[in-house]
Chain A
Amino acid sequence: MSDRGVWLWAWLGLSAGLSAQSTAPTYQRKADSLLALWSDARTFARVQLDLRAARAQGAATAVRSTAASRGLDPIQVGDLMILTNLPKALPFDAAARTAWSVLRRTYASSAPALAARPLHLRVWYPDRQSPALPGARMVLGTTSEDGLARMLVGMVGEPPPDSGLKAWLGGGVQAVMDTVASRRTAYVELVRAPSLAARHCLLGDLAACRSALHLDDDSALYLTAYDAGERRALVARVRAPNMLTPADRQLYGACVSSEADSACVAFLRSLAPAEIPRPLAERPLQELVTVALEAGGPAAYDRLTADPRAAMPARLAAAAGMPVDSLIARWRAALIAARPAPPAPPLGDGLLAVAWVGVLGLCASRSSRWRVT
């Protein structure tokens, strides 16, 4: 049953309950009945999803088992299978090995289920015809091994996140191919984050890192993670002036125009917690998960997703196999270590420029203008 179905049942139950205009025990009975209905609907929905997954799994198994007999020459590494029109045209084997290793390292026991469906790739060249492969994703015949591995990881995707992960991370856990580049991006986001907590985190305050990462359910995030100027900027960011209700307009004006911090706090307090922007964007949070999975070893993802109802710090600590504060310290150290190099030209580039000056200068002195023949 879809979400829409669940809501329909809920609405019907609620309508029935309201129209009855009964006394408290009647309401209680109706509520219990509604809860039972909702529970049944959830169960049906789960069964339907499981059936759909089983059907997809069956289809994938059939494709896998018949691929060789259909002359498709499948490329298989671990549970990852690639079907392509030109198996020798690109380094599929090496790319699949890299991709599978990344998937396995990230998603542990969830990786085989993710890779159950064979990946169909059609190699194509701009200047010539290549055999067709219906329903396949196109891949350019000049794609590098690294590019191909990234494409494979992207095609496999990520396991659907549970509600806890989705609420905190904004999506599923991403498999990271290039941890150095990813951490570099996370470091830049940490530096650029308009948040007091992020600044203190950068300077080594681990409690501030915890606040910046929004690991705890902090109902007063706007007080702990932002200073007065940042709160003012937040208010200006979360609501456009033309979207304000008359009641909000006064607070908004006092905050943004008159720079009264009490008005900013009152305005932010009136918002739903989900409306208040987090101090850090998604990449640093993803990086915290990546560091936890690295520290936790082979089954780390399984431990991360074992108890979806647990608080995020506990889940991350279980995944990493260490206290969450130690994990945060390790995350911070990894980000600091990935700080981008200063923008000075590397010595090699400098020497190259000097060499070009020499070569071009020599060309100038050897010009044919005055050469006597």
Chain B
Amino acid sequence: MFRAILYQQWKWTRIMVGLATVAGFAVPIFSVRYATRNMEHGQAAAFLDGVQTWGVVYPALAGAVGVLIAIGVWTADHRGRHVYALTLPLPRWKYVLLRFAAGSVLVAGPIAGVTLGSVIAAASISLPAGLHAYPFALAVRFALATLVAFTMFFAVSSGTARTASIILGGLAALVVIQVLLAATGLETNILMPVLNAILTVPGPFAIFSGRWMLVDV
């Protein structure tokens, strides 16, 4: 059953997974493209700035991969109003687990792309004193961030449209209230505590904050 679900999900998301894997492989290599084999110390600052600029691409890619694959694996069920799933002799939790496991396998593609790209990028450059390459640290961070994003949006997509609209509506309401508060001249900030709660430890997206550096001091 797992193989059948995996095959189905692969068919639905293969273009997305393929593009994300290529992007994941290319980004680390592209980020060090200006590095020469024997980089001079004087170039360290400019090189680090370049790598840092590319650092924002990894969490964006991790988030995008997580969201798109999570939505992709449930699209057919939503379209078919879950009739196919209901005909299977399976409890819901087991069906969800199979979908989740198959989705996780698909997520592994872009993760492998980033890992391989980072290792090749790190091996292709000779760093000046004080700089170090961290390909595996970057790959681990990317893997965890992608999995968290995938699971979060998998959970949202697996629910009813009502659940999704409550979550998204709640977020939109916060933004609207914040805009209204600012318009009335009040300095109260309700959005920032929410964002802090989500993006800092122990929030779900804490793994997204931090240094996404292939090369660092």
Give the distance to chain B from A371, nearest Cβ to Cβ, in Å: 8
Q: Are A361 and B82 in contact (CB under 8 A)?
A: no
Instruction: Spell out A's residues near B (CB within 8 Å).
Output: 126-127, 187-188, 190-196, 198-199, 202-203, 227, 229-230, 233, 339-340, 342-345, 348-350, 352-354, 356-357, 360-361, 363-370
Cβ contacts under 8 Å, B33 to chain A: none
Q: Are A192 and B160 in contact (CB under 8 A)?
A: no
Give the distance to chain B from A42, nearest Cβ to Cβ, in Å: 43
Interface residues contributed by chain B, number (CB under 8 Å): 52
Q: Are B151 and A194 in contact (CB under 8 A)?
A: no
Sample of 16 further A-B pairs with CB below 8 A, known A191-B217, A343-B134: A191-B130, A203-B129, A339-B217, A340-B216, A343-B137, A343-B216, A344-B137, A345-B137, A348-B201, A356-B152, A360-B154, A360-B155, A367-B159, A367-B163, A369-B92, A370-B85
Q: Are B148 and A353 in contact (CB under 8 A)?
A: yes
Give the distance to chain B from A244, nearest Cβ to Cβ, in Å: 23
Please report the C-alpha to C-alpha distance between residue A208 and residue B138 in the assembled complex, in whole angstroms: 34
What are 7 of the A-B contact pairs (CB < 8 Å)? A193-B41, A194-B41, A229-B42, A349-B206, A349-B207, A350-B140, A357-B148
B204 within 8 A of A: yes
Please report the C-alpha to C-alpha distance between residue A293 and residue B185 in the assembled complex, in whole angstroms: 48
Q: Are B128 and A340 in contact (CB under 8 A)?
A: no
Q: Are B158 and A369 in contact (CB under 8 A)?
A: yes
Chain B interface mostly: helix
Please report the C-alpha to C-alpha distance between residue A364 and residue B100 in the assembled complex, in whole angstroms: 9
Q: Are B92 and A344 in contact (CB under 8 A)?
A: no
The 7 closest A-B pairs by CB, nearest first: A344-B137, A191-B130, A194-B42, A343-B211, A199-B41, A192-B45, A364-B155
Known: A352-B201, A365-B96, A370-B82. A233 touches B148 (CB 8 A): no
Cβ contacts under 8 Å, B131 to chain A: 191
Q: Are B41 and A343 in contact (CB under 8 A)?
A: no
Please report the C-alpha to C-alpha distance between residue A348 and residue B140 in the assembled complex, in whole angstroms: 13
Please report the C-alpha to C-alpha distance between residue A349 and residue B86 in the assembled complex, in whole angstroms: 38
Cβ contacts under 8 Å, B134 to chain A: 342-344
Known: A364-B155, A369-B158. A229 touches B40 (CB 8 A): yes
Chain B 14-35 near chain A by CB (<8 Å), digits 1 or 0: 0000000000000000000000
Chain B 26-60 near chain A by CB (<8 Å), digits 1 or 0: 00000000000000111111001000000000000
Give the distance to chain A from B167, nearest Cβ to Cβ, in Å: 11
Please report the C-alpha to C-alpha distance between residue A67 and residue B40 in the assembled complex, in whole angstroms: 61
Cβ contacts under 8 Å, B163 to chain A: 367-368
Give the distance to chain B from A367, nearest Cβ to Cβ, in Å: 5
Known: A227-B42, A370-B86. A364 touches B96 (CB 8 A): yes
Cβ contacts under 8 Å, A366 to chain B: 93
Q: Are A191 and B44 in contact (CB under 8 A)?
A: yes
Please report the C-alpha to C-alpha distance between residue A318 and residue B87 in the assembled complex, in whole angstroms: 86
Which residues of B from 90 to 107 have beta carbons under 8 Å from A?
A: 92-93, 96-97, 100
B213 within 8 A of A: yes
Give the distance to chain B from A309, nearest Cβ to Cβ, in Å: 35
Q: Are A343 and B144 in contact (CB under 8 A)?
A: no
Q: Are A369 and B159 in contact (CB under 8 A)?
A: yes
Known: A202-B130, A354-B144, A360-B204. A126 touches B42 (CB 8 A): no
Give the distance to chain A from B66, nearest Cβ to Cβ, in Å: 11
Chain B 148-190 near chain A by CB (<8 Å), digits 1 or 0: 1001101100111001000000000000000000000011100
Partner of B44, one of A192, A203, A353, A363: A192
Cβ contacts under 8 Å, B204 to chain A: 356, 360
Give the distance to chain B from A120, nearest Cβ to Cβ, in Å: 23
Cβ contacts under 8 Å, B145 to chain A: 353
B212 within 8 A of A: yes
Known: A350-B144, A352-B201, A353-B148. A361 touches B155 (CB 8 A): yes
Q: Are A127 and B188 in contact (CB under 8 A)?
A: yes
Q: Are A356 and B216 in contact (CB under 8 A)?
A: no
Known: A230-B42, A360-B152. A190 touches B130 (CB 8 A): yes
Chain B 123-150 near chain A by CB (<8 Å), digits 1 or 0: 0000011111010111011001101100
B202 within 8 A of A: yes
Known: A349-B206, A353-B144, A364-B100. A202 touches B129 (CB 8 A): yes
Partner of B206, one of A196, A199, A203, A352: A352
Please report the C-alpha to C-alpha distance between residue A194 and residue B39 in the assembled complex, in whole angstroms: 12
Cβ contacts under 8 Å, A230 to chain B: 40, 42
Known: A342-B137, A368-B159, A369-B160. A352 touches B188 (CB 8 A): no
Q: Are B154 and A364 in contact (CB under 8 A)?
A: yes
Please report the C-alpha to C-alpha distance between residue A28 and residue B92 in the assembled complex, in whole angstroms: 105
Cβ contacts under 8 Å, B40 to chain A: 227, 229-230
Q: Are A344 and B41 in contact (CB under 8 A)?
A: no
B210 within 8 A of A: yes
Give the distance to chain B from A347, nearest Cβ to Cβ, in Å: 11
Q: Are B86 and A356 in contact (CB under 8 A)?
A: no
Residue from A126, A192, A195, A349 whose CB has the most chain B CB atoms within 10 Å? A192
Q: Are B42 and A353 in contact (CB under 8 A)?
A: no
Q: Are B217 and A340 in contact (CB under 8 A)?
A: yes
Residue from A127, A196, A370 whose CB has the most chain B CB atoms within 10 Å? A370
Cβ contacts under 8 Å, A353 to chain B: 144-145, 147-148, 206-207
